[in-house]
A and B are shown apart, each in its own frame.
Chain A
Amino acid sequence: MYACLHASGNLPLLLECARFFSPHIEEIGEDAIVFDVRGLTSLYGPPPQLAREIDRRVGINANIAIAANPDAAIHAARGFRGMTVVEPGREAEALARLPINLLCASPEVAELLDLWGIRTFGDFAKLPPLGVAARLGDEGVCLQRLARGEGNRQLRPLEDPLQFEEELELEYPVDLLEPLSFILARLLNEVCRRLDARSLATNEIRLRLTLEKASDHTVVLRLPVPMRDAAAFLKMLQLELTGRPPAAPVLKAHIAAEPVKPRRTQQGLFLAMSPEPEKLELTIARIRHLLGPDKVGVAEVMDTHRPDSFALRAFSPGVSISTTNRPTPRLSLRRFRPAKYAQVILDRERPARISSPVANGSVAVAKGPWRTSGDWWRTDPWNRDEWDIEIASGGLYRLYCELDSRRWFVEGSYD
């Protein structure tokens, strides 16, 4: 059994009323909704009483119709004023007086029906079905079934927008992390349960804390892989809040999760092991909390000649294709960050002696200079002479002289 509400320009009100009775609601254009009321007769009584209850609940002047199928209810609500209850099995009789234009036929069919003198549902229902099929085709057959109130389609319910948000207003301000953790755990569990129910995960958790006499405190967790592990989220939020605590006691906590499809991976029998992404993310969060945000990640060499240019990005190893070629070991540089200031004595414009926190003594071999410069259009250009030196006590270093300031630095050691 289905109920239809029809009122022009009041769709939100109609929806609100329908949601009180049923979660299965279909929007019909701009002015009507139809919803499933099966089973409600045991709660509200027979259909006329149910119609009165709906009328009481809607609170505005709307047409209400109850029928055994959605289409009959829609036509009755659009065609009759006030409350209408179409008894099951007597739909054709009840709808017979309705004007034919309520069927919303295509212009060609509507013109033909007009030429034939068909004015009401009843007139159309009386026509022989075979003749209608021969002259009007499939559309005619469908329309005639609707005119007889014999529609048997399923409801196409509205899909609620996917929102995974939870909030909790506290009875008294909370200024300690531990009690706040219990609240966050509760909210996260609920969000993750709802994600789980829809087979979704999240790659972004946003926490907004409303503070007492201070602006909101926001924490955003961006995850490289979709997850829905409430315990891991809680630990990450705790780490974030410990590192950057709210400035005032918390009055309200609001958590929102961005829904995404969960991670699907096909593990290979012969692939090397890799860390579980969820566990790894938590480990990285702990290390980040220990060292700072810009100390952990994957280094990416930048496409520039500027010395020591790299960017850090999130660690997210994919499947790698192994290659068989074996490269030879390369001489590598160990960098001093920042480069160590050095006092250098020159002999015939070559470093002869060096004094620095990392390398001291006479220079046995000095090869260079290698002049490099660049980024002159920026505020931090570089312009320097580089030397590769071997000091007498052992040790190979890269030394450079800033040409603008004539100061010497040890950039790193070859190892």
Chain B
Amino acid sequence: MANTGTALQLREIASGFQKHEEKPRLSTGIPALDRLTSGGIARGALTEICGPVSSGRTSFLFALLAAATRQGECCAWIDATGAFDPLSASNAGADLARILWVNCSGNTEHALKAVDLLTQGGGFGLVVLDMADTPDLDVRRISLASWFRLRHAAERTGAALVVAETKINARSCSSLQLELKRKRPVWTGKLLRGIEAEAESRKHYHAQSAEFTAVCHEGVN
């Protein structure tokens, strides 16, 4: 009897883990990264994208925005430093009319408040907190309690919350951590054609890394 009880408990725990893994996914718009992340980034969870300058973080996020807006999702882009380029987002295929842009002009505290308000409010399919140009020192000052609060808000409202930064900061609060690395830029004659980047999943058990290339839009970028 005792063995049966233990087996049942183990089964319940296992099914709990399985349920945790079976969160609906939002396609990244990049097939290689979809394979890496088992279908895309999780809804109702916090995902961290980190990497150095020119590692393809913004290209990845714009592809994600394009995929989300193509599905009719409303998205929010909380721009901690005011680096959002509408033309690049539009060239990447994102529907600007469905993206609420919040320009925090370098104030990290305001960015956190804005992302908290928007995530708690619900209704957004994708909320991006762009702190890719925020100094590491400022990002490290964000307490674990704040990350936990954001993760909880995302879980409650079902929004896919993505944070872009240079280093991983949310630690256990993020369900997926993608580290992007710059491999090489692609030059053709006098033109910058794109960059080749590699993405490595830090919290995933099925795949390790994937490569993708972000190419320049034809015409003026």
Main secondary structure of the interface of A (DSSP, over half): mixed
Contact (Cβ within 8 A) A286 B89: no
- Given A326-B29, A414-B192, are A333 and B123 also a contact pair (CB < 8 Å)? no
Closest A residue to B194 by CB, please name it.
A331
Tell yes or no: B122 within 8 A of A by CB.
yes
Where the two chains meet, the residues of B that have a C-beta atom closer than 8 Å to any C-beta of A are 29-31, 52-60, 62-63, 66-67, 69-74, 82-93, 95-105, 107, 110, 113-114, 117-118, 121-125, 132-133, 158, 182, 185, 187, 190-192, 194-195, 212-217, 220-221
Contacts of B58 in A (CB 8 A): 332-334, 415
Partner of A299, one of B96, B124, B125, B216: B96
Contacts of B124 in A (CB 8 A): 275
A280–B119 Cα gap in the complex (Å)?
A: 11
Contact (Cβ within 8 A) B59 A272: no
> Which residues of A354-398 have CB atoms within 8 Å of chain B's CB atoms?
365, 367-368, 388, 390, 394-396
Would you give the shortest CB distance from B101 to chain A, in whole angstroms? 5
Closest A residue to B28 by CB, please name it.
A329
Q: 14 new A-B pairs (CB below 8 Å) besides A299-B84, A390-B185?
A: A275-B74, A283-B118, A287-B113, A296-B103, A297-B100, A299-B99, A305-B220, A322-B70, A330-B93, A334-B58, A335-B82, A335-B85, A365-B187, A415-B132
Contact (Cβ within 8 A) B92 A329: yes
Q: Could you mark each residue 313-343 of chain A with 1 if its beta carbon is under 8 Å from any beta carbon of chain B, else 0?
A: 0010111111100111111111111000000
User: Interface residues of A toward B: which range?
Assistant: 35 or more
- Given A308-B85, A335-B85, are A329 and B105 also a contact pair (CB < 8 Å)? no
Contacts of A328 in B (CB 8 A): 215
Would you give the shortest CB distance from A181 to chain B, in whole angstroms? 21
CB-defined A-B contacts under 8 Å, sample of 25:
A272-B74, A272-B125, A273-B74, A275-B74, A275-B124, A276-B122, A279-B122, A280-B123, A283-B118, A286-B117, A290-B114, A291-B105, A291-B114, A298-B97, A299-B99, A310-B86, A320-B98, A327-B29, A327-B66, A329-B59, A331-B216, A332-B59, A334-B132, A368-B190, A415-B54
Would you give the shortest CB distance from B168 to chain A, in whole angstroms? 18
Closest B residue to A398 by CB, please name it.
B221
Contacts of B104 in A (CB 8 A): 291, 295
- Given A331-B214, A415-B132, are A394 and B54 also a contact pair (CB < 8 Å)? yes
A298–B86 Cα gap in the complex (Å)?
A: 9
> Which residues of A195-217 have CB atoms within 8 Å of chain B's CB atoms?
none
Contacts of B187 in A (CB 8 A): 365, 367
A192–B152 Cα gap in the complex (Å)?
A: 35
Contact (Cβ within 8 A) B100 A315: yes
A275–B126 Cα gap in the complex (Å)?
A: 11
Contacts of A284 in B (CB 8 A): 100
Would you give the shortest CB distance from A116 to chain B, in whole angstroms? 74
Closest A residue to B104 by CB, please name it.
A291
Contact (Cβ within 8 A) B191 A367: yes
Contacts of B85 in A (CB 8 A): 308, 332-335, 412
Which of A298, A326, A328, A335 has the largest count of B CB atoms less than 10 A from its CB? A328
A334–B51 Cα gap in the complex (Å)?
A: 14
Closest A residue to B53 by CB, please name it.
A395
Contacts of B220 in A (CB 8 A): 305
Contact (Cβ within 8 A) B72 A272: yes
Contact (Cβ within 8 A) B54 A414: yes
Would you give the shortest CB distance from B132 to chain A, in whole angstroms? 7
Contact (Cβ within 8 A) B88 A332: yes
Contact (Cβ within 8 A) A300 B96: yes
Contact (Cβ within 8 A) B69 A320: yes
Would you give the shortest CB distance from A22 to chain B, in whole angstroms? 49
Contacts of A396 in B (CB 8 A): 53-54, 185, 192, 195
A283–B185 Cα gap in the complex (Å)?
A: 41
- Given A291-B102, A365-B187, are A332 and B214 also a contact pair (CB < 8 Å)? yes
Contacts of B53 in A (CB 8 A): 394-396, 413, 415
Q: Sort A-B residue pairs by CB-CB distance and give the 8 closest, nearest first.
A: A275-B123, A299-B86, A327-B93, A332-B88, A415-B58, A272-B72, A334-B83, A395-B53
Q: Could you mark each residue 226-256 of chain A with 1 if its beta carbon is under 8 Å from any beta carbon of chain B, else 0?
A: 0000000000000000000000000000000
Contacts of A413 in B (CB 8 A): 53-54
Contacts of A320 in B (CB 8 A): 69, 72, 95, 97-98
Contacts of A301 in B (CB 8 A): 86-87, 90, 96
